[in-house]
Amino acid sequence: MFRSGAFVAEHITPTSEEQVQPNGVDLTLEAVFRQKGPGRITTDGKSVGPRYKQVNEPIGDALEGEAGYEHAGQDGPDREGYRLTPGNYVVRYAEVISIPEGHVGFLYPRSSLLRNSCMLNTAVWDAGYEGKGEGLLQVGHDIDIETGARVAQLVLAEAEHTGAYDGDYQGENV
């Protein structure tokens, strides 16, 4: 059984009211990386390939009057974010997630990404995991993504398990 968004919010910090959805919590974008060298996965270990952080840059004024834009009419300076061209990127979420005992986490892309020719790929989040996770963002068409924008939704399902996560990524990015 999947848990409510209010329950999920108890295991994510920080969160705002806007992030809490009926069935999960939206995660926001903290940083974008591009892999620049090979990684390695063997039967006795793994290593993540070297990466460089994408430059956080001005991405334009508020999109006043744009159809579907949720915050039309905001005034202010250019927004900061990432101007991404087609390709593969690693995104880091801004929130610290703690998957509680008796649960498993699944992360899905927000439909706004899909509608803009982007896909977010993630893995299962085991009970006991704590950290700021990452996902693979596949960009099919140029897109600007503002730092702090909601890009994914975490849902938690009740699950039986033996033990708790204690792997290499425990406490990552915190």
pLDDT, one tens digit per residue, over 50-66 is 999 998 888 876 555 55
Domain ranges of the chain: 5-39+48-56+80-158
**How would residue 28 be classed by pLDDT, with cut points 50, 70 and 90?**
very high
Quick check: 90 and 60 in contact, CB under 8 A? no
Q: What is the CATH number of domain 5-39+48-56+80-158?
A: 2.70.40.10
Q: Which of 39, 122, 36, 28 is nearest to 82 (CA)?
A: 28
> Coil, helix or strand for 29?
strand
- Residue 169 to residue 109: CA distance in whole angstroms: 21
pTM, 2 dp? 0.88
Model pLDDT for residues 102-158, shown as the tens digit of each residue: 999 999 999 999 999 999 999 999 999 999 999 999 999 999 999 999 999 999 999
- Residue 117 to residue 103: CA distance in whole angstroms: 31
- Residue 15 to residue 141: CA distance in whole angstroms: 30
